[in-house]
Structure 1
Amino acid sequence: MSTREPLDVLVAHIPATHTDEVLAALFAAGAGAVGDYRECAFVQRGEGRFRPVGSANPTIGEVGRPERVVEDRVEVALPRSRRAVVVAALRAAHPYEEPSFHVLANVADETP
């Protein structure tokens, strides 16, 4: 039986212009370590779409107008015990006031 802490996965959408900066913050917070490897991430380029409404203060675009942005989908593993710290680092480093992200619990690492 393994005593290794379960690893979860953070998936975030980041404007391509800020990917390296946000990744550096995530790595500093403890994400991206898998076994004997550090600063591990999967990055895939795509298009983010959104329409700011109400009292939004968008970093990119204008309230009421649809926006399209070149974004990277970033996936990094993180120790479950570091989840709050890593999410806080994402929110602090991400340029958007409401970053798009989710955390997936890796149940494969859990013992039955």
Structure 2
Amino acid sequence: MYKIETFIPKESLQELRQALLEVDAGHIGNYRGCLSYYPVTGVWFSDEGSNPTVGQKGQWSEEPELKVEVNVDDANKDKTVEAIRRVHPYEEPVINAIRLE
């Protein structure tokens, strides 16, 4: 079992929820699409070669985001990460796959 977490702008939540549902991420018993999210503040510096969705090249950015967490079976980890990458609006999304014991 893995916990997959990512950070997205609030306006991307519904698209991400649908993508996760389509790959059966967050399936717990008779419930599907189970996930958690909460507000965080993302901070980053965009290097000159970047193409930032938010902020400017060569500057620090600080934006409200949602941290989204979903649990998936081992066999579903790669499909879930691919689904997140497909809908994530950032050029370089942070996607953490944490093995649960």
Shorter-normalised TM range:
over 0.9
Name the aligned partner's letter for residue 58 of structure 1.
P
User: What are structure 1's unaligned runs of at least 5 residues?
Assistant: 1-6, 108-112
Contact 1:57-1:97 within 8 A present in 2 as well: yes
Query: Aligned residues, how many?
Result: 101
Deviant stretches of 4+, over 4 Å: none
2: CA distance, partners of 1:29 / 1:79: 11
Structure 2 unaligned regions, length at least 5: none
TM-score (norm 1): 0.85
What is the identity percentage for the equivalent residue pairs of Structure 1 and Structure 2? Answer: 30
> How far, CA to CA, are the matches of 1:96 and 1:63 in structure 2?
14
Letter in 1 for 2:13: T
Query: Conserved in 1, the CA contact under 8 Å of 2:26 and 2:34?
Result: yes
CA-based RMSD = 1.0
Larger radius of gyration: 1
Most deviating of 93-102 and 26-35: 26-35
Q: Which residue in the other structure is 2:94 paired with? A: 100
Cα deviation per residue 1:19-72 (whole Å; 9 max; x = unaligned)? Answer: 121121112112111112111111101211111113111111111111111100
Q: Is the contact between residue 13 and residue 72 of structure 1 (CA under 8 Å) also seen in structure 2? A: yes
* 1:8 aligns to 2:5 (yes or no): no
1:77 alignment partner, SS class? strand
